[in-house]
Structure 1
Amino acid sequence: MSSTNTRKNGITAAVLTAFLVAATPLTSHATTLESLTEKGSVRVGYASEAPFAFATPDGVVTGESPEIAKAIFKRLGVQEATGVLTEWGALIPGLTAKRFDVIAAGMYITPARCKQVIFSDPLSKITDTFLVAPGNPKNLRSYADVAKNPDAKLAMLAGSVYTKYARDAGINDDQILQVPDATAQLQAILAGRADAAVSTRLTVKGIAAKGGDKVEAVQDFQDSPDHINYGALAFRPDDTALRDAVNAELKKWLGSEEHRKTVSQFGFDETNIPDKTAAEVCSRT
């Protein structure tokens, strides 16, 4: 073959190669699920609030939400989960900043949060109550009771839905004490900085057990049916494929014997099995 033909063939090959590259769609980046499966691990963001999420003495993340996340991700081929402890109010910013891959903290689905993250379908259905000093000295059995008593102070997790509930009930901001975690709620009651602390019945039950005879849960708490809450896993808005894969597994797994056994150790029972989808809860006003 002559050098001329070689050059011609070389040019032709180069042109053909360039054409093929241009005509071939660019390879898309791996999805989050593909990346997690390849790594074999998922980073779980959580705030310390038993029984929803907390760390064991040796630093392993556990609780209702992380254990469900572990079970579902294993079904998706992701075998390991690493906990990333975060204050409650920093969970969504931390997810957005990619400090972790999913929030597994018993986070309630709310319309406001649905504008910031995308939720899995609910993992649980939750009702609330107050933690108070023995005998409930200020007779606080509802948000309205706090609103009627300007001297009463109510402790709640910073960034939680309880702030909205309190304000909607007419509770002034100077009556609201925002704290980072459930332990701080207990400390606020013990120190007299708050007259009541609001959280889920499950959480309050756990706090009351820690506080012994120095605190108690309000048994006849009066609340709006609209305040029945639904906890779920939360994902970044662009991770719809990951959320959908999780939902598909949740649909098959929730209510199963394995699910009931997984959550019963944290005080959850059949009354906590959810009956709504994330879309239904997001649409609530």
Structure 2
Amino acid sequence: MKVAIAYIEEPPFGWTESNQAVGADVELAEVVLRSIGVTHIEHHLTTFSELLPGLAAGRWDMNVPLFVTPERASQVAFSLPVWAIGDGFLVRSGNPKALNSYALLAEHHDARLGIIAGQVQREAARASGVSEDQIVIFEQQSEAIEALRSGTIDAYASTAVGNRVLAGRIGGAVFEAVEHDTEKDDTQRPPIGAFSFNKNNGRLLNAVNEQLRLYLGSPDHRTRMSKFGITRKEIDPALG
């Protein structure tokens, strides 16, 4: 049995290393798919904006986890949640404009925020008062990082855990990760993420969900995810 899965370059969830797909979401998918009898896993590197269209067109069978929203759920079928993660900023070292929430960034009318096309951070920023002309959209994470480095943008919005990994990889002398002040953003439970499938592929979805029920939260799952900086803080809210 063969399954094709799409991923994007977004450490620690997925990235390409030595021509191989690696990362927390990639490894979780592999463990689950092997457990349901998949013998060949084919990885497709794509952009975020192509994840849902590619799935709908049948170019692959499933996507790595992404945030669940009503709009996305109208297009694809989601698995059980696998993580719950709040947003954060990647900023230049020293955080020159002291940005620690969307609401605070909105108050700095000259501040520019980088967001990847199609990601939920755009809606979160707009809901907190960030104006459209403060938002700069990029197709790839690497483009946003270079814009931050050059000063074209003042912050890059992504998951808090992802930004921690990026800051650690690039180095504290260049960038730092800032977790959002959830009181200012009026954030409740962190948004959940899940694998997604073509709505006509219920058989694969059901098999994956059955294995996820058995595996999520297990010692093996927690140990594997901890290698990528995914802890009980990101895992436990998704299990409730």
TM-score where L is the length of structure 1: 0.78
Corresponding residue SS for 2:70: coil
The reply to whether residue 72 of structure 1 matches residue 39 of structure 2 is: no
CA–CA separation in structure 2 for the residues paired with 1:134 and 1:116: 39
Look up the match of 2:222.
260
Partner of 1:246: 208
Aligned counterpart, 2:63: 103
Aligned AA (2:174): K
* Per-residue CA distance 1:39-58 (angstroms, 9 max, x = gap): xx21111111011111112x
Distance 1:208 1:185 in 2: 13
Where do 1:225-240 residues align within 5 Å? 225-226=187-188, 228-240=190-202
Alignment of 1:14-163 (within 5 A): 37=1, 41-57=2-18, 59-104=19-64, 106-163=65-122
User: C-alpha offsets along residues 125-147 of structure 1, whole Å, 9 cap, x if unaligned?
Assistant: 11221111122111211111121
How far off its partner does 1:211 sit? 2.9
Partner of 1:209: 168
* 2:136 pairs with 1:174: no
Q: Is the 8 A contact 2:112 2:136 kept in 1?
A: yes
Distance (whole Å) between structure 2 residues aligned to residue 181 and residue 51 of structure 1: 15
CA RMSD of aligned residues (A): 1.7
Q: Please give the alpha-carbon distance, in whole angstroms, between the structure 2 residues aligned to 1:56 and 1:208.
A: 18
The separation in 1 between residues aligned to 2:107 and 2:57, in whole angstroms, is: 41
User: 2-side partners of 1:64 and 1:197: how far apart?
Assistant: 21
State the secondary structure of the residue aligned to 1:100: coil
Q: 1:167 to 1:227 in 2, by over 3 A?
A: farther
Distance in structure 2 (CA, Å) of the matches to 1:62 and 1:185? 21
Give the counterpart letter for 2:101 in structure 1: S
Structure ranking higher in strand proportion: 2
Q: Which amino acid aligns with 1:50?
A: P
Q: Which has the higher contact order (CA 8 A, sep 6+)?
A: 2
Q: Which of 218-227 and 74-83 deviates more?
A: 218-227
Alignment deviations for residues 156-210 of structure 1 (CA, whole Å, 9 cap, x no partner): 1110001111111221211111112332222111111110111112110121123
Query: Is the radius of gyration larger for structure 1 or structure 2?
Result: 1
**In structure 2, do the counterparts of structure 1 residues 220 and 230 end up closer, same or farther at CA, with 3 Å as the change threshold?**
closer
Q: Distance in 2 between matches of 1:211 and 1:175?
A: 25
4+ runs deviating over 4 angstroms: none
User: Compared with structure 1, are the counterparts of its residues 265 and 76 closer, same or farther at alpha carbon in structure 2 (3 Å cutoff)?
Assistant: same
Q: Please tell me whether the aligned partners of residues 44 and 102 of structure 1 are also in contact (alpha carbons under 8 angstroms).
A: yes
Asked if the contact 1:88/1:158 (under 8 Å) is kept, the reply is: yes
Residues in 2 aligned to 1:141 and 1:161: alpha-carbon distance in whole angstroms: 18
User: Which stretch shows the higher mean deviation, 185-194 or 216-225?
Assistant: 216-225
Q: Which runs of 5+ in 1 are unaligned?
A: 1-36, 281-285
CA deviations 1:93-134 (Å, max 9, x no partner) are 011111111001x31111111111111001111122111112
Unaligned runs of 5+ in 2: none
Output the amino acid matched with 1:60.
Q
Could you say what secondary structure the match of 1:225 adopts?
coil
User: Who is 1:190 aligned against?
Assistant: 149
Name the CA distance, whole Å, in 1 between partners of 2:211 and 2:48. 27
Letter in 2 for 1:97: A
**Cα distance per residue 1:69-96 (max 9 Å; x no partner):** 1111111110221110111011100111
What is the letter of the counterpart of residue 159 of structure 2? T
Which amino acid letter does the alignment assign opposite residue 139 of structure 1?
A
How far apart are the structure 2 equivalents of 1:275 and 1:74?
Answer: 25
Identity %: 35
Higher mean C-alpha deviation, range 246-255 or range 205-214: 205-214
Is contact 1:123–1:274 with CA below 8 Å preserved after alignment? Answer: no
